């Protein structure tokens, strides 16, 4: 394990940084507890001469927690349920998935 991976493990273990969640496979209904870092950046979309600002829900998940996930899988955080939309994207080090979510 390199230093970056060790640092990520500590960040995800910190309750101030990451939240407990459950991943549910859309295909097999398998469930797995995971830790996620929640983000909600605004997304700006240009359309003709106008610009639209929309809310987004994104989470970062360790690849070691979920090596095989896909669009349509569910992420449950507390009482909130979200569906992964689009393709999950890994970081340069291949340690973290970035998931774009929509409410289920």
pLDDT value at position 7?
87
pLDDT value at position 23?
97
Cα 22 → chain centroid: 11
Task: Walk along the chain (104 residues) in steps of 10 and give the mean pLDDT of each run.
Answer: 82 93 95 93 78 84 92 95 94 91 92
Q: Give the C-alpha distances (Å, rounded to integers) separating 88 from 14, 81, 98.
A: 23, 17, 6
pLDDT value at position 3?
84
Residue 46 in tokens:
């240009």
Residue 56 in tokens:
């987004």
Euclidean distance between CA atoms 49 and 36, whole angstroms: 37
pLDDT value at position 79?
94
pTM of the entire predicted model: 0.82
pLDDT value at position 50?
83
Provide CB contacts within 8 A for 71, sequence distance 6+. 84, 85, 86, 87, 88
Euclidean distance between CA atoms 20 and 51, whole angstroms: 35
3-state secondary structure of 7: helix
pLDDT value at position 52?
80
């Amino acid at each position: 394990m390199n230093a970056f991976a060790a640092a990520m493990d500590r960040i995800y273990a910190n309750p101030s940084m990451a939240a407990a969640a459950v991943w549910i496979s859309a295909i097999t209904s398998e469930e797995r507890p995971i830790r996620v870092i929640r983000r909600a950046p605004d997304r700006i979309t240009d359309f003709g001469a106008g610009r639209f600002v929309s809310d987004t829900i994104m989470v970062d998940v360790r690849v070691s927690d979920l090596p095989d996930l896909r669009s349509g899988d569910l992420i449950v955080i507390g009482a909130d349920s979200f569906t992964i939309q689009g393709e999950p994207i890994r970081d340069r080090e291949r340690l973290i998935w970035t998931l774009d979510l929509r409410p289920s």
